[in-house]
Amino acid sequence: MQYLSFNKTAPLLTRRARLLLFSVLALGLTLLIAPASTTASTLQGGYGLKIFRVESGLYPFVHVYMRTFDQDMNPLVNLNVLNIGVMVQGRAYDPRKKQYFIQPIRNREEAIRSILVLDTDKKLQGVEFENLVRAAARFIDAKRPQDQIAIVALDSSSEGYTILSNFEREPAALGRRLADLQPRADKIRLYDGVAGAMQLAGGVGGGSASSTIDYPVSTSIVILATGKDDDSAINRSDLMTRIANLPLPIPIYSLGFTAGNSTGQRNLQALSTNSFGKHYPISATHDTITRSIENIQNIMQSDYVLTFRAYIPVDGGRHNVKIGVEYPTDSGIMYYDSSTFEALEPPTFPQILEAQQKLDAIMPALNNEELYLKNPFTPQPVVQPVAAGR
């Protein structure tokens, strides 16, 4: 299987077809595994969820990528169909009809992208800087083979940061970039560096060519820094607004290499909280580094992919989908997040047809069966009486 590049200058139809094929080759690799708007719901009841991507390249089969979190921003574990509710155009699927299933991202082939933002303040000398670099190396070692990582150094350059590596899969190549890192910066422009990482997150992934197709579905930023900012061109308020207005969420996970409840720790905590990420203060003994890095990787690999079969005819339009999570099962409390999907007819590439056939075997189309749950209190159309003599 050849690696497919994405040509920005190609005609629109060709680019769309290539993107569909690109995604299908990744999505289709795990379809035979048995089912084991992006506004976040609130944390009422101790948990929430956030849809960060919806793909309908295999329509009528739709993939919904979502992140769940408890009150400590850790993922909900062992979700299954009994925990999930699916509503399309306001009508709830009957889970007994087996028209949807859910899988954790760690068991699938889609790629996760991360951007490491590393502090190079000259005050981070000796053991403290070595521990920061080791934490970055540990993060790289813990990734899956298909996952991609970019490295951004906060330094004294004119932009306030330098991209040491674009998105890369090979740990050895990323390790060589880390080896060149030195604490030489006189000033650290944290907010400019984070803004640059967000801009990088919006680009097309790079890295070495590969014989496998890895389709990136989410991007996160991981900051390893003291949290101080020396007069960035963008202020914290503007950066917070930019984070809140992102069309697709980019969670920020931060490790604060400054002891105590300092201004730097609060800066990092604010960035993480505003982006649905998580902040990890690193103690002076640095005994929490490995545990924190492993926790971040676990969160990112614990996202869920819900796949459902849609029954809306192809019309080229966007249609509402709402996903609910009841946790724990039979608690009677369900929180929802909403998004949309497109009812489009995919190209008839052999790879697409093969992937659709695999999904069709898991979720055969219903014939003369009621797909939706029936609520006796749902309003029904009013039938107007026929006037006498007509």
Do 212 and 131 belong to one domain?
yes
Q: Answer whether residue 233 is part of any domain.
A: yes
Q: What is the pLDDT of residue 284?
A: 61
Mean pLDDT (the chain, rounded): 84
Q: Answer whether residue 386 is part of any domain.
A: no
Task: Quickly list DSSP for 326-382.
Answer: ESSTT-S-EEEEEEEEE-------HHHHHHHHHHHHHSPPPSS---B---TTS--PP
Q: Answer whether residue 381 is part of any domain.
A: no
Q: Count structural domains, the chain.
A: 2
Please name the residues in contact with 85: beta carbons below 8 A apart, sequence gap of 6 or more.
92, 93, 95, 323, 324, 325, 326, 334, 336
Q: Answer whether residue 262 is part of any domain.
A: yes
Q: Answer whether residue 70 is part of any domain.
A: yes
Do 211 and 236 belong to one domain?
yes
Do 135 and 231 belong to one domain?
yes
User: Can you tell me the mean pLDDT for 343-359?
Assistant: 95
Q: What is the pLDDT of residue 25?
A: 41
Q: What is the pLDDT of residue 281?
A: 87
Do 82 and 137 belong to one domain?
no
- Residue, of 232 and 287, whose pLDDT is higher: 232
Q: What is the CATH number of the domain that holds 43?
A: 2.60.40
Do 101 and 142 belong to one domain?
no
Q: What is the CATH number of the domain that holds 254?
A: 3.40.50.410
Q: Kindly report the CA angle at 68 between 64 and 70, in degrees rounded to 5?
A: 170
Domain boundary among 301, 319, 337: 301
Q: What is the pLDDT of residue 382?
A: 84
Q: What is the pLDDT of residue 384?
A: 78
Tokens 């339009």 locate to: 317
Q: Answer whether residue 382 is part of any domain.
A: no
Do 172 and 143 belong to one domain?
yes
CA atoms within 13 A on the CB side of 35: 19
Q: What is the pLDDT of residue 354?
A: 95
* Euclidean distance between CA atoms 55 and 65, whole angstroms: 8
Q: Answer whether residue 116 is part of any domain.
A: yes
CA atoms within 13 A on the CB side of 196: 26
Closest CA to 226 of 184, 196, 266, 273: 266
Do 202 and 285 belong to one domain?
yes
- In tens, the pLDDT along 289-315 reads 888 999 999 999 999 999 999 999 999
Do 184 and 245 belong to one domain?
yes
- In tens, the pLDDT along 34-43 reads 333 334 444 4
Within the chain, residue ranges assigned H as helices are 12-27, 127-141, 171-179, 190-201, 236-244, 263-274, 289-301, 350-362
Max distance between CA atoms of the chain, in angstroms, equals 97
- In tens, the pLDDT along 226-249 reads 999 998 999 999 999 999 998 888
Do 98 and 125 belong to one domain?
no
Do 249 and 277 belong to one domain?
yes
- In tens, the pLDDT along 43-82 reads 445 788 899 999 999 999 999 999 998 888 889 999 999 9
Do 308 and 297 belong to one domain?
no
Range of the domain at 337: 12-106+303-362
At residue 322, does pLDDT exceed 60? yes
Do 90 and 137 belong to one domain?
no
